[in-house]
Amino acid sequence: MQKFIQIPVLCCSLIITTLISCSSESLEVIEELQLEEFDTETITIVNPEKEEVSNEVWTETSNWLGKMQLSNGLLESTENGDFVSLYDNALSALAFTALKKYDKAEAIFDYFDGQIENELLNGNGGFYATRNKQGDHDERIWMGDNAWLLIALNNYHEATGSNKYNRLSNELELWLRSLQDEDGGLFGGQNEDGSSIHKVTEGIVTAFNAVKGYDDFHKNILVYLKNERWDTNEQLLVAWPENPAYKYALDLHTLGFNILENFPVTVLYQAERYKNTQTSTLTGEEIIGYCFDEDQDVIWLEGTAQMAVAFQNAGLESEANVLLEQLEKTFIKSTTLVNAKGIPYTSNFGTTYGSEDLWDHTDITSTISSSVWYLFAKLKFSPLALGKNKSIPSQDKFWNQ
């Protein structure tokens, strides 16, 4: 799961085509957004093994995503939040690629391509995790977010045959490789004070997928995971080995299955430890889904959509469809964008991974991450499939031993 700062909710009204946002601190005119309906022709999805999918059910969500893009190519993580996440923009580029809206994916890549010298190759390297819609950034750099941008580029290059962003891809790969420690693990990036972020299992597994092929970089990652982040009794990847209450995390079930070759499907059923029922803050309906962790105090809708994608990859369509029905109970119709709706980050308010509270309004504001993973499931598109087939030697697959 990605780390977020608090996002203030803003009251908004539509005046012609300009959105006005008001908060307790200021009144500002924000970016003008295109309001014509996002193209809704039947989409041929990127994975050629999947059949074409009718778009009738998810049209409004794809519309919402398309209309969230600003003139500089970036997308805010929530409607009118003035908060831009590298992870969410990588997800959006993947969704636009799956929807064959390559110009919209390119607008995102163009922004980061223009920041290679200023960010990626500056100082200790890497793109910053968050910024505002003008591009003014915080100082924290998350390795996993950069890996997701490389995954998006890999999928775009595969789908289009273009080499337009080869330099961006190559520099991202070199930077990810530079984070590898002697034990095979990868440092998680850099804090605001310049110190290294500890090794994060989620980011390490994502980088394993993002960097193409299989060489010593990948082999050493697997050595690290086996030695430091593998529970041999439970046969699960571990998120926080020093803290028994939060030792396991939902996203490692989906990442493990979607990224590592021949990973046992039983890992998806072991995710039952996070499953719970909550009441949607907005609709009052009961929602069944998955929490970030075993405290079961919230439904993490992004993670629930990730589980739907994983079930599809396992050929378990009925399990995936049950989750999609639950997600569709949480739609929020936009009050400012025409024919557009999204999904909030969680169904109700609670804690994120660990015991810290989520940010305010996490349960009442549409978010990119949940909405995009829902779209992936509706498209039957797995963003991690391209990097999964690495021909890992059998002796290195510790999960099969």
For the chain, domain boundaries: 11-400
Distance CA(191)–CA(344), nearest Å, equals 28
φ and ψ of 352, to 5 deg: -80, -165
Token readout for 340 is: 């557009």
Distance CA(202)–CA(252), nearest Å, equals 6
Task: Report the CATH number of the 11-400 domain.
Answer: 1.50.10.10
- Which range among 52-56, 119-123, 175-179 shows the weakest confidence by mean pLDDT? 52-56
In Å, what is the CA distance from 176 to each residue of 79, 201, 202, 300?
A: 31, 14, 14, 28
Question: Is residue 13 very low, low, confident or very high in pLDDT (cuts 50, 70, 90)?
Answer: very low
pLDDT higher than 70, residue 2: no
Task: Tell how strand 18-22 and strand 27-29 pair up.
Answer: antiparallel
pLDDT for 298-336, tens place per residue?
A: 999 999 999 999 999 999 999 999 999 999 999 999 988
pLDDT higher than 80, residue 14: no
347 touches 301 (CB < 8 A): yes
Predicted pLDDT of residue 7: 32
SS3 string, 80-138, reads: CCCCEEHHHHHHHHHHHHHCCCHHHHHHHHHHHHCCHHHHHCCCCCCCCCEECCCCCEC
Question: Is residue 228 very low, low, confident or very high in pLDDT (cuts 50, 70, 90)?
Answer: very high
Question: Is residue 401 very low, low, confident or very high in pLDDT (cuts 50, 70, 90)?
Answer: confident
Neighbouring C-alpha atoms within 13 Å toward the C-beta of 65: 33
pLDDT for 71-112, tens place per residue?
A: 999 999 998 788 999 999 999 999 999 999 999 999 999 999
pLDDT for 185-205, tens place per residue?
A: 999 999 999 999 999 999 999
φ and ψ of 138, to 5 deg: -75, 180
| The model's pTM | 0.87
Predicted pLDDT of residue 42: 32
